[in-house]
A and B are shown apart, each in its own frame.
Chain A
Amino acid sequence: MSGDALLSIELSDVGKHFGRFQVLDHIHLRFPAGRLSALLGPSGSGKTTLLRLIAGLESPDQGVIRFAGEDVSHLHVSRRQVGFVFQHYALFKHMTVFDNVAYGLKIKPWRERPSKPVIRKRVMALLELVQLAWAAKHLPAQLSGGQRQRIALARALAVEPRVLLLDEPFGALDAQVRAQLRAWLKQLHREIAVTTLFVTHDQEEALEISDHIVIMNQGRIEQSGSPQQVYDQPANPFVCTFLGQAHQISAHLRQGVIYCGDQVVGTAAPGLSHEGAVRVYIRPHDIEVLPPDDTRSALTATLEQIAMIGPYVRLALRLHATQALIPADMTQARFAALHIAADNTVQLVIRKPHVFV
C-alpha cells in the first residue's frame, strides 16, 4: 500500500502504571521501519499495554512515543493513523463485512472522503487481498474465527495506517488455522510493507514470521533484536529459557573453560572473563550424545529414560558430575545408530552452552 511512508516507532523512557501497579517500567525501544516485529512475553508482562500505548488507546505516565521522529504521545487515537487488530476481532456485528471494511473510509470528513465507487473499489480490493471477497454481504457472525480476523485486518488496512498493531491476532484460533494465518500474514506483510507490531505469547510464532523480536517480562524489556540474535545469543537466563527449551546446570568457569564438577563441559565465549560459579543453560538439541567408548568428551551421564516424540527421540540424562537430570533430543535415525539402551553410560558434547554469571 503506502510503501513510501515507512516509519519507525520509538519509545523513550515510557512508563505506565495502573493504580499502584507498575505495568511498564522505563521502556526504551525502537521498532525498525517497514518491518514485522514481534512482542513476546509471558502473560501479564505488559505487551497489550505497550501496544495500546503506541496506538493511543492508553496514555503513558511518562516518556515519549515517536513515529518517524514525530512526537505522537499526546495525539488522540483517532488521529494517530494506526491500524489496530484485537484478539477477539472487535468487528461491528451489526454491519456486513463490506460495511465493516468500508467504515474507516465512510466516516471521513466529506472533504477527504473518497467517492462511493472509489470506496467500493478499495474495499473490494482489500477483501480480495484477504481472500474474502465472496463474503462481502455476510454478517461477521456468519464467518469463522480465522475469517473474522482477516476481515478485522482488512478493516484496519482500509484507512492506510502508518503502523499496524496486532494484539495476539491468532490467539483465539486453533493450531492449524493459526499456522495458516501466520504464513499468510508474513506474505501479506511482504506485499504491503507497513511497519507492523504483533503481540504473541507463542515463541514459535514470533521466531517463524518476525524480522525483529522484543522480549518482555514484568514490564521490562529483556532483549530486542533479530530472531537469530535473541535465540543464539540470549542476553540473560530469562530470554534463554523463554525462547525454546533450556535446562540449567550449575558449573564453574576457570580460565575460559566450563567445568561441571571436575568434568569439562566446553569453553565459554571469548568475552567472558569471569572466574568461579556460573549458570550454564543447555538446549535439548544442543547436546550430542556419543557412545560410551568414544573419547572426544569428558562429560559423562547415565541414560535414564527414552521417549519417542513423533519424529525425534528425547533422552533423559543423569549427569555424573552433579546428578542433574537434563533432556537431549535427536532424530530416530541418529538414536538407532548409537545402539544405546536405558542405564547405559554415555558421553556428551555440548554444542552451544549459554553461560550466565
Chain B
Amino acid sequence: MIAGMIARRKPWVRGVLPGFGLTMGTTLLFISLVVLLPLAALLSQAASPGWAEFWRIISSERAVATYKLTLSSALIASIFNLFLGLLLAWILTRYEFWGRGLLDAMVDLPFALPTAVAGLSLTYLLGPNGWFGQWLQALGITVVYTQLGIISAMIFTSTPFVVRAVQPVLEDMDTAAEEAAASLGASPWQIFSGIILPLLVPALLAGFALAFARSLGEFGAIIFIAGNLPYHTEITALLIMIRLEEYHYAAAAAIASVVLAAALVMLFVINLLQGWAYRQR
C-alpha cells in the first residue's frame, strides 16, 4: 500500500533494487552489437544491388523451391514435435521410473551434439543399409535424400525446445484440479483435454515457435541426409551457402533476409497467439 503510494508519487522509483539505467543500458548495447548490427549489415548487403535485382534473386524458381521445401518441412517437423515433446515432458513429469534422470538428460542431447554429427548418424541410421533404414526400405519408404530425411533431421534437432517449454508448466501444475474434475465424473481424456491441455497452450505455442525457428535455420544436420538436389531436396540455408561459395554475397544476403523475415513473422504471430492464450485464463 504505502510502497504503492510512494511509487506513484515518485515515478522514478521502480523497485527495491537500484540500477535500472545501468542494466538496461548494458542490455541494449549488447543486443545492438550481437543481434541488430549483424542484421543491419545483412540487410544493407542484400539491398546493395537494388530492388529489381533483389526481387529477381529471391523470387527465382530455385529459391522459391527451397522456401517451399524448408517451410513445409519445418512446419511438419514442428507439429510432430508438438506431440513428441508433450509426450516426453508428460512422461518425465508424471511418472517415476528407472532411468528417468538419464532420459531427462538425454533430451538435451540434440543441443549438445554438433549438428554435423547428428546429421551423419541420422544418415547412417536411416540409410538403405542402416538399422532403421533397412526396415523402412522393406516397407517401401525411403528417408535419406528425400524430404522425409530433412524432416527427420529437423525433428531431431528441435525436440528439446518443446520439452523444455512444457516441462516446467507440467511440474508446477496443481493435481488437485484434476482430482476435482475426476470426482465430478470426468474421464481421463476429458481431464486431459479440458483441464490440463488449456493450461499448456501458451507453453506449447512457445515451444512450437522455437522449434519452428530452429528448423528454418538448421543446416548441419540436414545437408548430410537431404541429398541437396536443386528444386527437390535443397533447403534455403544450403542455397545461401552455395551462393556464398560462388562469392555472390548479395544473393546470399537477399535469400537470408527472406529466412529472417519468415522467422520474425513466425515469432510475432506466436507472440500474439500466446498473449491471446494468456488472456483466456
Residue ranges of A at the interface with B (Cβ–Cβ < 8 Å):
55-57, 77-84, 86, 88, 90-94, 103-104, 107-108, 139, 141, 152, 155-156, 158-159
Contacts and interface: CB of A to CB of B under 8 A. Distances in A.
B186 A90 contact: no
Contacts of B198: 94
Interface string B155-196: 000000000000000000010110111111111001000110
B142 to A, nearest CB: 44
Nearest to B280: A94
Contact of A78 (B186, B195, B199, B280): B186
Nearest to B175: A90
Contacts of A88: 174, 176
A164 to B, nearest CB: 11
Interface of B: 174, 176-177, 179-187, 190, 194-195, 198-199, 280-281
A108 B179 CA distance: 16
Contacts of B183: 55-57, 77-78, 80, 82-84, 156
Contacts of B177: 90-93
Contacts of A93: 177, 199, 281
B190 A107 contact: yes
A78 B281 CA distance: 25
Contacts of B194: 103, 107
A156 B180 CA distance: 8
B280 to A, nearest CB: 6
20 contacts: A57-B179, A57-B183, A78-B183, A78-B186, A81-B185, A82-B183, A84-B179, A86-B176, A90-B177, A92-B177, A92-B195, A93-B281, A94-B199, A104-B185, A107-B185, A107-B186, A107-B187, A141-B281, A155-B180, A158-B184
A77 B182 contact: yes
Given A88-B176, A91-B177, A94-B199, 16 more contacts: A57-B183, A77-B183, A78-B184, A78-B185, A78-B186, A83-B183, A84-B179, A84-B183, A88-B174, A92-B177, A94-B198, A104-B185, A107-B184, A152-B180, A156-B184, A159-B185
Contacts of A57: 179, 182-183
A309 to B, nearest CB: 31
Contact of A94 (B174, B180, B190, B281): B281
B281 A155 contact: no
Nearest to B188: A78
A78 B177 CA distance: 13
- Nearest 7 CB-CB pairs, A to B? A104-B184, A90-B176, A84-B183, A90-B180, A94-B198, A86-B176, A90-B177
Contacts of B190: 107
A152 B184 CA distance: 11
Contacts of A79: 185
Contacts of A152: 180
A90 B195 contact: no
A90 B177 CA distance: 5
A80 B185 CA distance: 8
B253 to A, nearest CB: 45
A103 B181 contact: yes
B91 to A, nearest CB: 22
A83 B180 CA distance: 8
A139 B281 contact: yes
Given A78-B185, A78-B186, A84 B180 contact: yes
B181 to A, nearest CB: 7
A156 B179 CA distance: 12
A27 to B, nearest CB: 21
Nearest to B187: A78
Most buried by A among B176, B187, B190: B176
B277 to A, nearest CB: 9
A108 B194 CA distance: 13
A212 B181 CA distance: 29
A56 to B, nearest CB: 8
A160 to B, nearest CB: 11
B176 A108 contact: no
Contacts of A90: 174, 176-177, 179-180
A88 to B, nearest CB: 7
Nearest to A81: B185
A107 B182 CA distance: 11
A10 to B, nearest CB: 20
